[in-house]
Amino acid sequence: MQSGVDQGARPAPHPAPSAKRFAEAHGAPMLFPAVPANQDRFPQVVANALKVVKEERISTFSVDVDTASYAFLRRTIHMGQLPQADAVRVEELINYFDYDYPLPKSLKHPFQPTVALFPAPWNEEKKLMLVGIKGYAPPPQERPPAHLTLLVDVSGSMAPENRLPLLRTAFSMMVNQLRPEDTVAVVVYASDVGIRLQPTAVAEKEKILEVIDSLQAGGATAGGSGIRMAYELAKKTFNPKAVNRVILATDGDFNVGMTSLQELQAFISEQRKSGIYLSVLGVGYGNYNDALMQSLAQNGNGVAAYIDSLTEARRVLVDNLTANLFPIANDVKIQVEFNPARVSEYRLLGYETRMLKREDFNNDKVDAGDVGAGHSVTALYELTLTGSKGKRAVEPLRYGEESNEAEESVTAATGQAQAGGKGEKSRTKAHAQEYAFLKMRYKTPGESNSQLLEQPITDKVAFSNDDEIPANHRFAAAVAAFGLKLRNDSLLGDFSYARIVEQAQKGKGEDGSGLRAEFINMVKTVQARQR
């Protein structure tokens, strides 16, 4: 079934990396069947370009804690297929996993950055720069009440077991985690929309569960009308001191009512300003509209997750319920300024749909991503250091002043400092030793003005000895490499699946959840089928 959402004029889509082309690119026989074309829909993503620091030294982006891409990729591989290139969002693969970064001690400072510089496993002449944060996790008694409105697609396309029946069980598990004073309402939409449950305290849990269990699929998809009704219902229990959230659960089809993507985005953005947020749970395969759901979640200050199994439902709605429902920081932005004395080239791995303009960083009116209680967020940059023996990916300009030696840049900076006075000399020389300067902005929920965190990135955070690299960093690098390889990244070189497995195993750590072991087995599956 095709969505009725008008997404405007779009360039010709990237061809899905079919099993045949994937195998040819990797010198292997075709053992994966191709993914059916033009059915599942994903935002078109052009990988971040490699940047020359002397031409563009500042990188700005919004954080992202969505995990839909990883769960969809896992399901696709388990079905014996390879995902479309646009279905692979590297940052969502990395951020699917939890990382043991230092936890803040209070909500006053909701997170602190963890920064590290270490060799890129796929190229010894490159470095990876990791920027990670972990949100403050308040004790259960400190969390605010939750007022949730479930907006459930019950159209005909939701009938299969992996759609509405799966969601019924998922929501029942979620309700069992809520407090008696929390409330739940239920709105459904198909050919028409309707309220199945007015806002009801979880103290009446059996009443809520009975309504959820009674949901049945059939009809068209009046998604736009359903969204309007859900927000109207959410306003009935709105409390500025509570978490007020609509949770949309759908396979992504909107073909009746308010279907223009621009109209939906504008409506949801306006509701976000009132303090009612939107999260999206995607299900299904074959007509899954990820492009729509990513856009709605980003405009609604919410999380986009893909539910492919009861195990994933438990992870999202039970294990990570607090992180996915209760924000501790809004509009979180990251800006990195690279020092040409130490770094000649860089590229951000992933976050293509989250890139911001340089001036957006200081503009508190520009929306950005949110971090939930206990959420960890990781970003990786690939760097070419100035003076590196490796071949530069971008040749120096014929007409310009591109020096390849860090020492020359440091000397020049020091000379400028001497001309400017003793204090300026000391400051500039110190700055010349930095790889980069990190800035982060965030808002405390309910506040309109952002707060600023700053940190220079120096040799103090650099790991040169391979044995010293923390397990977290190794594992994040392995996940990034897997995503890049699935996207046929040209700068990954001949880094093999076997090397990815080796890197991931070194970074597996204790792995209490078993998710890292599952990742390693998934890479092995792709590796075995490509022989």
Final residue of a domain: which of 279, 309, 325?
325
- pLDDT of 120 strictly over 70: yes
Final residue of a domain: which of 294, 325, 356?
325
Q: Is the same domain home to 284 and 344?
A: no
- Read off the pLDDT of residues 497-514 as tens digits, 9 standing for 90 and up: 999 999 999 999 999 999
CB-CB contact of 293 with 250 (8 Å): yes
Instruction: Over range 57-66, report the average pLDDT.
Output: 95
Q: Is the same domain home to 56 and 187?
A: no
Q: How confident is the model at residue 361 (pLDDT cuts 50, 70, 90)?
A: very high
Residue 479 included in any domain: no
Q: Is the same domain home to 183 and 240?
A: yes
Instruction: Over range 76-81, report the average pLDDT.
Output: 92
**How many CB atoms sit inside 10 A of residue 366's CB?**
16
Distance separating alpha carbons of residues 410 and 343, to the nearest angstrom: 12
Residue 426 included in any domain: no
Residue 507 included in any domain: no
Residue 524 included in any domain: no
Q: What is the domain count for the chain?
A: 2
* pLDDT on residue 251: 86
Region of poorest pLDDT, from 39-43, 157-161, 433-437: 39-43
Region of poorest pLDDT, from 145-149, 226-230, 245-249, 435-439: 226-230
Final residue of a domain: which of 325, 342, 367?
325
Q: Is the same domain home to 132 and 149?
A: no
Residue 516 included in any domain: no
Q: Is the same domain home to 189 and 306?
A: yes
- Read off the pLDDT of residues 297-318 as tens digits, 9 standing for 90 and up: 888 888 999 999 999 999 999 9
* pLDDT on residue 221: 58
- Read off the pLDDT of residues 323-342 as tens digits, 9 standing for 90 and up: 999 999 999 999 999 999 99
Rounded (5°) CA angle 343-345-347: 120
Q: Is the same domain home to 234 and 358?
A: no
Q: Is the same domain home to 189 and 259?
A: yes
Residue 117 included in any domain: yes
Instruction: Over range 121-132, report the average pLDDT.
Output: 96
- pLDDT of 104 strictly over 70: yes
Choice between 260 and 342, residue whose per-residue pLDDT is larger: 342
Q: Is the same domain home to 385 and 248?
A: no
Instruction: Over range 142-171, report the average pLDDT.
Output: 93
- pLDDT of 18 strictly over 60: no
Rounded (5°) CA angle 71-147-254: 50
Domain hosting residue 107, numbered range: 19-138+333-389+435-468
Q: Is the same domain home to 338 and 455?
A: yes
How far is residue 299 CA from its own chain's centroid?
A: 14
Q: Is the same domain home to 321 and 342?
A: no
For the record, the structure tokens of 409 come out as 């840049």
Choice between 429 and 472, residue whose per-residue pLDDT is larger: 472
- pLDDT of 24 strictly over 50: no
- pLDDT of 13 strictly over 80: no
Nearest Cα to Cα of residue 126 among 115, 117, 135, 139: 117
Distance separating alpha carbons of residues 465 and 250, to the nearest angstrom: 48
Residue 483 included in any domain: no
Instruction: Over range 239-246, report the average pLDDT.
Output: 92
Q: Is the same domain home to 310 and 383?
A: no
Instruction: Over range 79-108, report the average pLDDT.
Output: 92
* pLDDT on residue 347: 97
| Range from 138-142, 186-190, 295-299, 349-353 that averages highest in pLDDT | 349-353
* pLDDT on residue 109: 86
Q: How confident is the model at residue 423 (pLDDT cuts 50, 70, 90)?
A: low
Instruction: Over range 169-193, report the average pLDDT.
Output: 93
Residue 495 included in any domain: no
CATH at residue 288: 3.40.50.410
Q: Is the same domain home to 345 and 463?
A: yes
* pLDDT on residue 396: 76
CB-CB contact of 40 with 286 (8 Å): yes
* pLDDT on residue 407: 42
**Residues contacting residue 170 through CB under 8 Å, at least 6 positions apart:** 281, 307, 310, 313, 316, 317
- Read off the pLDDT of residues 489-499 as tens digits, 9 standing for 90 and up: 999 989 999 99
- Read off the pLDDT of residues 368-413 as tens digits, 9 standing for 90 and up: 999 999 999 999 999 999 988 766 677 777 776 554 444 444 444 4
